[in-house]
A and B are shown apart, each in its own frame.
Chain A
Amino acid sequence: MSDRDTEFRDFVTAQMEPLRGLAYLTCGDWQAAEDAVLTVLAKLYVKWRRVDNHASYARTAVVRAAIDETRRPWWRREHSQSDAMPDHPYPDDSTHAVDERLRIRDALQQLPPRLRAVLTLRFLEGLSVRDTAEALRCPEGTVKSYTSRGLDALRQILGVEVFVNKELRHEARAV
């Protein structure tokens, strides 16, 4: 087995699940998310020696691929009446925790993909404004604006106060 294969396997073992979650939060469909991740990992395998930061490359590419999934023509036409699309039927015997999780997931799904991607990269992956802008190839101002609007939108949808943790609070307020 080549060094490249060993390194790649180690990387995928550690990163596949987080990447899957990242893609899902961006595009809202587990299967599309997994397809996006597999495509990105296949590309990464080919250019393994030419990429300096494998995690950063994969994260950025996965978010972009997941956003692309939401741009397919069928997506637009089939979603013209509804933006929310839960993967699983809601269980009848929901506990409060399950209810809350589904409510949060639906709230996130109501945000446009790029805005969701900004929130995910910043507050789940912990990227800075600059790194998020770099990952999404958009101006830093857009990231700041999306962060602020995303928080506002979630507050409105959920009817609760949404806050960010202490380390990020200062930056969020500065947007």
Chain B
Amino acid sequence: MKLELSDMLKAGKENAPPPRYSVEDAVAAGRKRQRRQRTMFAGAGSAAAVVAVAAAIAVPQIVAHDKPSPALPAAASSAPKKKSFAYPAGDFTGNIAAFTSGELKITDAVHVTPGYQVAIVVAPGNGTDTIDANNKTHHSPNDIGELVVYRKGVYNPKKIETAAKVSVDGHPAYFQKSLPGKAPTGLKGKVPDSAFDTPAILAWEYGDNAWATVSAAARAKVGQQELVTIAGKVTAKAAVPVKVGFKLSYVPSGYELAAAGPSDSALLSPMAGESYIRLLKGDFPYKGLTAPAQDPFVVNDKQLPLVQLGLYPSWYSKHSAKTASCPDQGLCYLNTDDGKYVLELSGGGFLSNAEMIKMLNSVTFADPTDAGTWFKATDAVS
């Protein structure tokens, strides 16, 4: 039997359900988007003026570091009434201190890039369940949002300046309330509606042109005051290099460390033993962000080649590989010696399988269960 590919592709999209959107829906969506943009641009000037006034009277609670600046001593803030937060000078060091706020727990920094560090906001109870190949259910922490502290100059507040103006200990801040989402019909019963929520988000300027945000999913019903309280409790601990549970002695030419930590790009509470590295080929400018950067990393209209490595408990992956292998297109795997963890390498379409196998064959694992054995991320890819 023979099949012609273009006929196959046509067959693949046959039997489509009736469209949900009409031509007029597209026109209405376009007009709405245009109105929103006009409103945003019109509001930006006045909001900026308010920010400037508020910043002048604010008591700095956390101190931003511009990337090229040398490390400032914590006492550099003019008249700190609270313990200062100095953004670490090093690219791959995190220093968000874990804390609790009511029933919510905020983790240490679990995902660090040269432009920002991320901690996870966790509520009581279990989050999404994952059923493994042996029908065993694994509970995930009840992640409800993220705390993201951006380095000075990285976050662009223009987008959120259309939201409600509030204050965090005298610092300019904006609050955008959450909006409930709805799962597409094809995913009803498989994915909760809450997965499509627009989260509530609070952004505040913790230092001159340095911002942080904290978000919470609509299902968590966390309001403005709770987010303001969380923001007021953010403090720094001593900066520590971010570590991962594996290292490579071979990395393809030009690829450099772009993110690392116990949590991968999904920015969820890390599972026990999980760790992650992102490599990019080319410089990604950490400026003008309105949220943590996500694939694709586009610079000057070109996508930067991206490679990601994640070490996960074996139950989380359907793949097992005693020796490095690539059963899926662009995805290769290697188990730890005891088979309890699996390293997933995603080539993003930029590396051949042979190159990815070469990378995996150069891997040394730490003990995923003992963070004391983990490698500094900066050493893991050198």
On A, residues with C-beta under 8 Å from B are 5, 8-9, 12-13, 16-17, 20-22, 24-25, 29-32, 34-35, 37-39, 41-46, 64, 68, 71-74, 76-78, 80-81, 85, 87-88, 98, 100-101, 104-105, 107-108, 111-112, 114-115, 119-120, 123-124, 136-139, 142, 145-146, 149-151, 153-154, 158, 160-165
Contact = CB atoms under 8 A, between A and B. Distances in A.
Contact of B268 (A64, A73, A104): A73
Contacts of A80: 130, 316-318
A161 B329 contact: no
B33 A43 contact: yes
B133 A142 contact: no
A74 B128 CA distance: 9
B352 interface: yes
A46 B33 contact: yes
B129 to A, nearest CB: 10
B79 interface: no
A31 B350 contact: no
B12 A108 contact: yes
Contact of B3 (A16, A150, A160): A160
B30 interface: yes
B26 A73 contact: no
Contacts of B352: 145
A103 to B, nearest CB: 9
B27 A9 contact: yes
B186 interface: yes
Most chain A CB within 10 A, of B6, B140, B295, B302, is at B6
Nearest to A153: B329
Given A41-B30, A64-B296, A163 B9 contact: no
Given A22-B13, A137-B301, A162-B3, 17 more contacts: A20-B19, A21-B13, A24-B13, A25-B12, A32-B186, A38-B26, A46-B30, A81-B130, A81-B131, A100-B11, A115-B329, A123-B9, A138-B303, A138-B349, A162-B4, A162-B8, A165-B6
B13 A164 contact: no
Interface string B17-40: 101110101110111111001000
B350 to A, nearest CB: 6
B330 interface: yes
A12 B301 CA distance: 25
Nearest to A45: B30
Interface centre among B8, B34, B298 (most CB of A within 10 A): B8
B19 A17 contact: yes
